[in-house]
């Protein structure tokens, strides 16, 4: 029987830290000796190899250049491994999982992001369980083919679609949630996979790694009392090509003339504006109320039930790929990797 080959990619973050018993300071450990830190990995029915960033980074410093590095590692090793586990700081993990889902076109193998709230050497750490089960998830096969064929995020007994996740808690072990899409799998006494919710690539062609992410994007969160000069200073920036507009409820915004005029002018000048809800769960339904019908009429893109993390990375991706302006709205509103319903 072929044992799955899993590549463990360490980018940085709490999961790869150990505490110096003398000073209490956290330092990154050498992942080549991971079996010494987690001997339980020897019990897994797979082969594990590791690769680390030359300089592990805090996830607060994550950016599209590092996303390209992760994508390149996966692309370069794609034919030699059956699955990939990316160890990553939790703060920006949802952004990275979303970005990689777009960058890895025709992905047909598992890429599982995970991390931890406590360092791997801590007595109460969640790092070991998250890492061990992520590797198990990446190793799952049926009839010699991977069960998971998408970018996932595993944390605290649940595997989520990566581009559907949001970090919801900075202190609890259950740090992530996927409020608009069911879990892909749960870990208990057994690993239970929800096959009906798994993403399946329709393309039969091989993996294409796309790394041209355009950073000329922004996020604007509306709030009662937001001023005209403030919005104008943002959307009139010549460097801005795409904007995620976080609106109220099901996509509602103020109907004051100055706001609609500013948005219309920006869109007419080529700015792509995506409407997403500020709510943790639910969907934008433009036109349901009068307070969103004007946004729809001036050409604002509906983000439907996409997360802000996926919305901004999808903007970067489509702008980086140079999607034609006339097709941009239609393509954005189409699910590409299961990121929206």
Amino acid 28: pLDDT: 73
Whole-structure pTM value: 0.95
Domain architecture of the chain: domains with CATH? 5-209 (3.40.50.1170), 217-332 (3.40.50.40)
Q: Is 114 a catalytic residue?
A: no
71 strand-pairing partners: none
Q: Please state, in angstroms and rounded to a whole number, the distance separating the CA atoms of residues 121 and 124.
A: 9
Cα–Cα–Cα angle for 134, 16, 104, rounded to 5 degrees: 50
Q: What is the mean pLDDT of each run of 10 residues along the chain (341 residues)?
A: 91 83 75 76 91 90 98 98 97 98 97 92 87 96 95 97 97 95 96 96 84 98 98 95 98 96 97 97 92 94 98 98 97 98 95
pLDDT, tens digit, for every residue of 9-21? 999 988 888 777 7
Largest CA distance in the chain: 68
Which of 11, 14, 308, 313 does the annotation list as catalytic?
Answer: 14
218 secondary structure, DSSP code = E
3-state secondary structure of 231: helix
* Tens-digit pLDDT profile for residues 195-223: 999 998 776 789 999 999 999 999 999 99
Write down the pLDDT at residue 34: 73
pLDDT value of residue 165: 98
Residue in 74, 75, 65, 66 with CA at minimum distance from that of residue 12: 66
* H or E segment and range at residue 243: strand 242-247
**3-state secondary structure (DSSP) of residue 18:** strand
* Measured CA distances, 9 to 45, 105, 312 (Å): 19, 19, 24
Q: Which residue has the tokens 């970067």?
A: 316
- The reported pLDDT for the residue numbered 37 is 75
Instruction: Evaluate whether 213 touches 99 at the Cβ level (below 8 Å).
Output: yes
The predicted pLDDT at position 341 comes to 95
Query: What confidence score (pLDDT) does residue 203 get?
Result: 62
């Amino acid at each position: 029987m072929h044992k799955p080959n899993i590549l463990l990619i360490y980018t940085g973050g709490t999961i790869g830290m150990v505490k110096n018993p003398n000073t209490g300071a956290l330092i990154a450990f050498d992942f080549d000796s991971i079996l010494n830190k987690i001997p339980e990995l020897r019990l897994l029915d797979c082969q594990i190899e590791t690769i680390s960033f030359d300089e592990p980074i805090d996830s607060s410093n994550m950016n599209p250049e590092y996303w390209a590095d992760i994508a390149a590692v996966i692309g370069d090793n794609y034919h030699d491994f059956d699955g990939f586990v990316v160890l990553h700081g939790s703060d920006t993990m949802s952004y990275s999982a979303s970005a990689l889902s777009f960058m890895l076109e025709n992905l047909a193998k598992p890429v599982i992001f995970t991390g931890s709230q406590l360092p791997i050497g801590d007595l109460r750490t969640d790092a070991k369980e998250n890492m061990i089960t992520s590797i198990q998830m990446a190793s799952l096969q049926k009839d010699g083919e991977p069960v998971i064929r998408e970018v996932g995020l595993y944390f605290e007994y649940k595997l989520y679609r990566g581009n559907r996740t949001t970090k919801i808690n900075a202190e609890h072990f259950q740090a992530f949630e996927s409020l608009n899409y069911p879990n892909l799998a749960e870990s208990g006494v057994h690993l239970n996979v929800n096959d009906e919710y798994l993403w399946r690539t329709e393309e039969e062609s091989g993996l294409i790694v796309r790394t041209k992410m355009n950073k000329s994007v922004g996020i604007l969160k509306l709030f009662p009392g937001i001023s005209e000069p403030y919005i104008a200073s943002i959307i009139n920036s010549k460097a801005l090509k795409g904007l995620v507009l976080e609106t109220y409820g099901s996509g509602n915004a103020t109907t004051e003339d100055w706001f609609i005029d500013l948005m219309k002018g920006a869109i007419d000048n080529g700015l792509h504006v995506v409407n997403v809800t500020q709510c943790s769960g639910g969907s934008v339904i433009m036109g349901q109320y009068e307070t969103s019908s004007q946004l729809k009429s001036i050409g604002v893109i509906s983000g439907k039930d996409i997360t802000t993390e996926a919305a901004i990375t999808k903007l970067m991706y489509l702008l980086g790929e140079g999607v034609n302006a006339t097709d941009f709205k239609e393509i954005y509103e189409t699910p590409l990797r299961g990121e929206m319903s």
